[in-house]
Amino acid sequence: MTDPTPSAGTADAAIARSATGAACAIFDRDGRVLLVRHTYGKYNWELPGGLGEAGEAPHETATREVLEETGLVVELAWLTGVYYESTHRLGAMLHFVFRGGWSGGVRPKPSSPEIGDLGWWPLDALPTPISDFTERRISDAAGEGRQPVVARVEARRWRE
């Protein structure tokens, strides 16, 4: 009888591997979204978030990154989207976006050397530079539906 199990080398080669990242869309009472401005790359505006660490679940990544970047302890409300990006600089990447809020009188402030600035922005007047992917994630998170969007991300375009 032959063993139907592929050898370890064959099985490993057949398994898809993707990096993960997670972000959080946080809106204030006026419906403005919290964005952070990076101190690297295109110095772009983004949702607070970042790359997952080994053994970390996406919701843990999102809450850790928000705390690291803004000083806010966030409570995640629901998943708003999962996005697959095959052309990320790190290779294939899965992006998870959650909608969240925070309580208390804590005001967000740049809390990491990676973050040069942050601010609350109306959805119809987002800052630049910003990518179409970031605009898409904000729009998806702003919707009231609780069914997460699942989408493929093609090459990003930048609005300067």
Q: pLDDT grade, residue 5 (50/70/90)?
A: very low
Residue 5 falls inside a structural domain: no
* pLDDT, tens digit (0-9, with 9 covering 90-100), for 63-118: 999 999 999 999 999 999 999 998 888 888 999 999 999 877 889 999 999 999 99
Three-state DSSP at 70 gives: helix
Residue 93 falls inside a structural domain: yes
The whole-number pLDDT of residue 91 equals 82
Burial pattern 119-150, b for ≥16 Cβ within 10 A else e, equals eebeeeebeeebbebbebbbbbbeeeeeebbe
User: What total number of domains does the chain contain?
Assistant: 1
Q: pLDDT grade, residue 9 (50/70/90)?
A: low
In the numeric block, which tokens belong to residue 38?
């990076």
Q: Which is more confident, 148 or 73?
A: 73
Residue range 12-34: mean pLDDT, rounded: 89
Reference 29, options 144, 143, 120, 157; nearest CA is 120
Secondary structure (DSSP) of 126-138: --SSEEHHHHHHH
Residue 4 falls inside a structural domain: no
d(CA 137, CA 154): 14
The whole-number pLDDT of residue 3 equals 47
Domain assignment of residue 73, given as a range: 17-159
Residue 133 falls inside a structural domain: yes
Residue 2 falls inside a structural domain: no
Residue 8 falls inside a structural domain: no
Q: Name the pTM for this structure.
A: 0.85
Cβ–Cβ under 8 Å, residues 76 and 62: yes
Residue 109's domain is classified under what CATH number?
3.90.79.10
Residue 9 falls inside a structural domain: no
